[in-house]
Amino acid sequence: MSFFHAGVIFPSDYKEFVFTYGTGAFAYEYSVYNPFWGAEYFAHVRYLCQIERDFRTTFPERVPFPVWPEPGGVFPWGDDQNGNYYLWLTEGSPDDWQVVTNDPRGHGYREHHCTMTKYLAGVMLGRIIPLIGEFPTPDSFVFRSGEASE
């Protein structure tokens, strides 16, 4: 199976993460979407992008980025148990894509100048303030295979 979705070629760090860990919950909180979920993955990504497009149409001032499949649009790669979303800003080469977080009930969108794995590592190491409250905790440093955060 080719590692792309509807013409989207994914960043190298994401591919390595998915090939290493598969489907599961990272730090009990984060679900990183896996294209090998098949139809469920594709439907979920399309659904999230449609929600973002609809929200952008209604509240353009609240969504500062285009939404995939628009050029340079945000493309979802994960979520957490608090209902926050994690996306890429698909500008340039996939390995140059930056992380965008969306805290829909709080601060909204924020751009982070790092890759997906550097974002997750930054949260775990305390270098990036997580969208999840008191996190990480000492027991957060796990990956539970086969489980989603939802």
pLDDT at position 149: 45
Beta bridge partners of 143: 26
pLDDT of 104 strictly over 60: yes
53: confidence class by pLDDT, cuts 50, 70, 90:
very high
Q: Which pair of structure tokens corresponds to residue 118?
A: 């550097």
Percentage helix, strand, coil, to 5, in the chain? 35, 25, 40
pLDDT at position 27: 77
6: confidence class by pLDDT, cuts 50, 70, 90:
low
pLDDT at position 119: 95
**Segments making up each domain of the chain, as ranges:** 9-126
pLDDT of 145 strictly over 80: no
CB 90 within 8 A of CB 52: no
pLDDT at position 5: 54
pLDDT of 118 strictly over 90: yes
Of 134 and 44, the structure prediction assigns the larger pLDDT to 44
Which of 124, 133, 127, 103 lies closest to 113 in space, CA to CA? 127
pTM (global) more than 0.75: yes
Percent of all residues in the chain with a pLDDT value above 70, rounded to a whole number: 90
Runs of H (alpha helix) within the chain: 12-21, 39-58, 116-124
